[in-house]
């Protein structure tokens, strides 16, 4: 890929070799060369203003969403706020069930209270699984009821290849999505709830003197990036939904199944850069009219051998860990620039709730027992059932 170096808001002209790489990316974006084999990871790039699909590959293939699930948790929460069911300063109580969720998490003790607004910031920045479940219990009254709302929202948005079983994206065989569906969801979040756009671009939070950094490196390493959410489990690899704005043009990319966080970020940055440099041609399909260009996978991909390979002495992988970004800064074929400051950490606080919920119905980590799916794959990318349990191997 080509590297563009940011200098006081402008860009240094890339070398001829790297301009050639950018040209190749542009050809792929405009459909003038063949796409990669179907086994390659899915992606989709959309112009947010028009809804035109600029580029896609296997965007109807089923994939485990991991923590980009929390974008739907946010959508359902904001919908409840718009309906007057809750407010931004309504209380969210950390229940015993929520506190038992594995990392990434805040580690709040049961009984801890935060506001809905604080919970939304935390799940976008820290991607805290305990807070996501507590928020779901608050909004839905119980986790199964909240998951029902998530699936109802997916249906209403036309997310035909998506099914949810929990509110945080932890491994569950009954939870899957597609790149196309997450472009639909992301666009709905940005257009229907514009007052909350800033929560997707927060680079860090501050709680009692502790700085909590965002996992989305694009916010501080890709000029113009302004949101949204990353996700990782071994079975899914590294996912990202990334938006960017340049000269008034808004582009969003969904990349699923990166082998590493760095590879995912590079791919997303390259796709967005190519989109900014290519005009929106007439006649492109929209997210609503897009149809699979080839065969759709009949089962959910499991890329744990790629994302979490078994290697003696290999350090653990995950969103909480540095994925070699510092070492990779010297790469020549990169769209990522050295880290730059976007904003100061946003302070958050415990308490501050104006109203408290009724005692929640304690639930297990997922709602899959009451939302077991039986759908089978369809050629148009409609709901798909994974054959394997993404939890089958636990990493130490």
Q: Which residues are catalytic?
A: 67, 70, 127
Alpha-carbon distance of 236 to 231, in angstroms, equals 9
Distance CA 72, CA 290 (A): 21
Nearest to 25 by CA among 355, 344, 350, 278: 278
Spatial distance between the Cα atoms of 380 and 385, rounded to a whole number of angstroms: 14
Residue pair 243/227 in contact by the 8 Å Cβ criterion: yes
Residue 187: CA count within 13 A, CB half-sphere: 27
How far is residue 378's CA from residue 376's CA, in Å, rounded to a whole number? 7
Which helix (DSSP H) or strand (DSSP E) does residue 364 occupy? Answer: none
Residue whose pair of structure tokens reads 């229940």 in the numeric block:
95
DSSP state letters, 9-78: TEEPPPPHHHHHHHHHHHHHHTTSSPPPPTTSPPEEEEETTT-BEEEEESTTS-B--GGGHHHHHHHHHH
Three-state secondary structure string covering 318-358 = CCCCCCCHHHHCCCCCCCCCCCCCCCCCEECCCCCCCECCC
Residue 239 three-state SS: strand
* Residue pair 123/98 in contact by the 8 Å Cβ criterion: no
Cβ–Cβ < 8 Å for 124, 73: no
Residue whose pair of structure tokens reads 């969003």 in the numeric block: 252
Let me know how long the chain is.
396
For tokens 């986790």, the residue is: 143
């Amino acid at each position: 890929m080509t590297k563009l170096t940011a200098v006081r808001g402008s860009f240094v002209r890339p070398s001829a070799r790297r301009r050639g790489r950018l040209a190749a990316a542009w050809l792929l974006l405009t459909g003038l060369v063949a796409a990669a084999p179907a086994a390659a990871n899915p992606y989709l790039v959309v112009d947010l203003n028009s809804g035109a699909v600029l580029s896609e590959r296997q965007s109807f293939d089923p994939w485990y969403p991991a923590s980009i699930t929390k974008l739907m948790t946010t959508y359902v929460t904001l919908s409840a706020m718009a309906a007057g069911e809750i407010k931004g300063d309504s209380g969210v109580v950390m229940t015993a069930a929520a506190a038992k969720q594995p990392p990434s998490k805040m580690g709040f003790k049961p009984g801890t209270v935060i506001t809905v607004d604080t919970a939304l910031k935390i799940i976008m920045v820290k991607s805290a699984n305990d807070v996501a479940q507590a928020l779901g219990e608050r909004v839905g009254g119980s986790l199964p009821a909240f998951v029902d709302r998530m699936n109802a929202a997916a249906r209403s948005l036309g997310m035909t290849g998506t099914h949810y079983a929990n509110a945080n994206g932890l491994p569950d065989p009954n939870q899957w999505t597609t790149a196309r569906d997450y472009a639909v969801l992301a666009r709905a979040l940005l257009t229907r709830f514009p007052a909350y756009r800033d929560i997707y671009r927060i680079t860090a939070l501050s709680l009692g003197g502790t700085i909590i950094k965002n996992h989305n490196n694009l916010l501080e390493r890709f000029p113009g990036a302004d949101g949204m959410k990353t996700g990782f489990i071994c079975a899914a690899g590294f996912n990202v939904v990334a938006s960017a704005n340049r000269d008034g043009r808004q582009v969003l990319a969904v990349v699923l199944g990166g082998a590493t966080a760095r590879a995912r970020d590079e791919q997303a940055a390259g796709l967005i850069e190519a989109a900014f440099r290519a005009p929106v041609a007439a006649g492109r399909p929209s997210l609503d009219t897009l149809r699979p260009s080839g065969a759709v996978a009949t089962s959910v991909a499991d890329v744990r051998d790629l994302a979490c390979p078994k290697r003696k002495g290999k350090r653990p992988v995950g969103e909480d860990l540095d994925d070699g970004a510092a070492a990779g800064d010297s790469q020549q074929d990169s769209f990522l620039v050295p880290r730059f400051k976007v904003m100061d950490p946003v302070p958050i606080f415990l308490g501050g709730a104006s109203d408290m919920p009724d005692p929640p119905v304690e639930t297990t980590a997922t709602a899959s027992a009451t939302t077991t799916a039986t759908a089978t794959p369809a050629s148009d990318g409609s709901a798909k059932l994974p054959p394997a349990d993404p939890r089958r191997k636990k990493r130490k």
